[in-house]
Amino acid sequence: MSRKVVLFIAESLDGYIATKEDDLEWLINTEGEGDNGYSEFYDTIDTIIMGRRTYDWIVSHEGDNFPYEGKQCYVLSGSKQGKDKNVEYVNGDITEFMQKLKQEEGKDIWIVGGGSMLHEFIEKRLVDEWIITVTPTILGDGIPLFKRHGFETRLRLKGARTFNQFTELHYETVH
């Protein structure tokens, strides 16, 4: 059985993952319960994929406290290559790379973000499971979770649960 590629992300009720300024204060200010299922999910993965903009944001906000220490982390980048102390940079065909990763031994693979990279994963049908946590906030504008595209993706609901003001929806892709 191959590993699954899982999107685990929070969004506003109107579908944004951050403001245009990359602000997440609206998310932090939502009253949750414990860590809203994060630790439980985090134990199911050992590999993380993120876009360059997301990685740069993490480094600028977290400094030396990289939040994914001990996990294999890849950053998709059109220009940067090699490794740094936290991640390995990946260029080239994302479909080939993901197929190779899924065949390796290990736990599931987490797509952390962001919006542009996620769109490519959706377009190439690389997401196996979707865990989307919705907050009761309407931002009105920002970075959308889903960009417009010309195809349909069918999902099947695996479960739903709440963490105080957060609602987690868990889907799997119907192939």
Averaged pLDDT in 10-residue chunks for the chain of 175 residues: 90 93 86 91 96 88 90 92 94 93 96 84 94 96 86 93 96 93
Token output for 154: 């069918």
- Please state the domain count of the chain: 1
56 vs 29, 48, 116, CA distance in Å?
Answer: 23, 15, 14
CATH of the domain at 51: 3.40.430.10
Using a cut of 0.85, tell me whether the model's pTM lies above it: yes
User: Residue 74 is inside which H or E element, if any?
Assistant: strand 72-76
Q: Give the model's pLDDT for residue 1.
A: 61
Taken in order 55, 9, 64, 84, the sign of the CA dihedral is negative
Query: How far apart are the C-alpha atoms of 148 and 48, rounded to whole Å?
Result: 25
Please give the pLDDT value at position 158. 98
Q: Residue 110 sits in which domain range?
A: 5-173
